Amino acid sequence: MTCFPWTPQYGNTGCNLIYQGSGYCALRPGKYSGAAGTDYSNDALTSGSPAGFNANFPNGALAYFTVPAFVQGPDFPGNGPKPETPGVGRNSFRGPHYFDVDFTLGKAFGLPKVSILRENAKLDIRANFYNVFNKLNLNNVNNTISFDGTTSNRQFGQTQGALAGRIVELQARFSF
């Protein structure tokens, strides 16, 4: 069983996080204060607390992360402020558990010798089963802490979708 890694970030759809026209659309937090939950179950990542926040971040995302500081830099385009090196590493958080079992079943049948077929003619029948146990595997953890730096994103840390359920694929191959 594994988990999908994810990186928290401050986001802005206008790409103006530092100054107008800076081109920065997302920044990693300056610091992580700790104390967030570590429950990676489907229930914890889909159902929030009564306040509407994720079970691992019950106080809202802003309670666990700080906005990165900005410093002036002569080498920065436009001599505008430059974000400090983030204190939170890339892929430093774990997402939902992932469990998948795939299975293939196949059989080859030799065909009788007929004048239009060669002597090694055969028919292969195969069935591929993906996610045999039909386990719900969540993905796409919402990793945006805040869009404006002052309001917690209510969907932070919650999953936004799921991978496919059980898939059965049938194949037949005739070779002569």
Task: Write phi, then psi, for 149 (nearest 5 degrees).
Answer: 85, -5
3-state secondary structure 3-65: EEEECCEEECCCCCCCCCCCCCCEECCCEECCCCCCCCCHHHHHCECCCCCECCCCCCHHHCE
- Between 68 and 168, where is the model more confident? 168
Give residue-wise pLDDT tens across range 136-173.
888 888 888 887 777 888 888 888 888 899 999 999 99
pLDDT exceeds cutoff 80 at 115: no
- Between 85 and 97, where is the model more confident? 97
Give residue-wise pLDDT tens across range 9-39.
888 766 766 666 667 777 888 888 888 888 8
The reported pLDDT for the residue numbered 54 is 72
Confidence bin at 94 (pLDDT 50/70/90): confident
